[in-house]
Amino acid sequence: MTRTRLSAIAATAALAASGGLLTATPAAAAVTCASPVWKAEFFANTTLTGTPKLTACDSAIAENYGLGDPAGVTLPKDNFSVRWSVTRDFGSGGPFSFAAETQDGIRVYLDGVRRIDLWKNVSTTQKKTVNLTVPAGRHTLRVDYVAWTGTANVKFTYAPVTSATVDKVRPLAPVGATVAYDKVLNRAALKWAANKEMDLAGYRVYRRLGTSTTWTKVSSATALVTTASFVNSPPPTGQTYLYEVRAVDKAGNESYGSADLTVASVDRTPTAAPAGVTASDGATGVHLAWQPVTGAVKYTVHRQRTGTTDPVAQVATGVTGTTWTDATAAENTGYTYGVSAVDAAGNTSPRTTVTATHGDYAPGAPKGLTAVDTGSYMLGFALNWTAPADTDVVSYRVYRDGFLIGTTSATSYTNDTGLWKGTTYRYTVTAVDRADNESPASGEAVVATEGDLVAPAPVTGLKATPHEDGVLVEWDASTEPDLKRYEVYRAEKYDNGEGESGWVTYRVAYLAKDATSFLHPNAADGETVMYTVIAVDQWENMLHATDPNLNWVEVTELGTPVTE
Domain assignments of the chain as residue spans, ordered by start: 8-160, 178-264, 278-358, 367-448, 463-556
Helix H or strand E encompassing 490: strand 483-495
What does the CA dihedral 88, 90, 96, 97 come to, rounded to 10 degrees?
-20
Specify the DSSP element, H or E, that contains 209. strand 200-209
Closest CA to 364 of 435, 436, 429, 439: 439
Confirm or reject CATH 2.60.40.10 for domain 178-264, answering yes or no. Answer: yes
The CATH class for the domain spanning 278-358 reads mainly beta
Query: How far is the C-alpha of 259 from the C-alpha of 233, rounded, in Å?
Result: 19
pLDDT at 344: 81
How far, in Å, CA of 169 to CA of 71, rounded? 42
Burial of 149 (0-12, 13-18, 19+ CB in 10 A): middle
One-letter amino acid of 202:
G
Is 0.75 topped by the overall pTM? no
Neighbours of 37 (CB within 10 A): 18
Q: How far apart are the C-alpha atoms of 231 and 240, rounded to whole Å?
A: 17
Could you give the CA distance from residue 79 to residue 63 in angstroms, rounded to a whole number?
A: 16
Does 3.40.50.1580 match the CATH number of domain 8-160?
Answer: no
Q: Does domain 367-448 have CATH number 3.40.1080.20?
A: no
Other beta carbons within 10 angstroms of residue 47's beta carbon come to: 10
Instruction: Tell me how far CA of residue 176 lies from CA of 227, 243, 530, in angstroms.
Output: 14, 13, 81
Name the stretches of the chain with pLDDT < 50: 1-24, 28
pLDDT of residue 258: 97
- For residue 36, whether the previous peptide bond is cis, meaning omega lies within 30 degrees of 0, is yes
Q: 300: closest CA among 337, 355, 354, 345?
A: 337
CATH code of the domain made up of 463-556: 2.60.40.10
What's residue 3's pLDDT?
A: 32
Would you state the pLDDT for residue 377? 64
Q: Do 8-160 and 278-358 come out as alike in CATH topology?
A: no
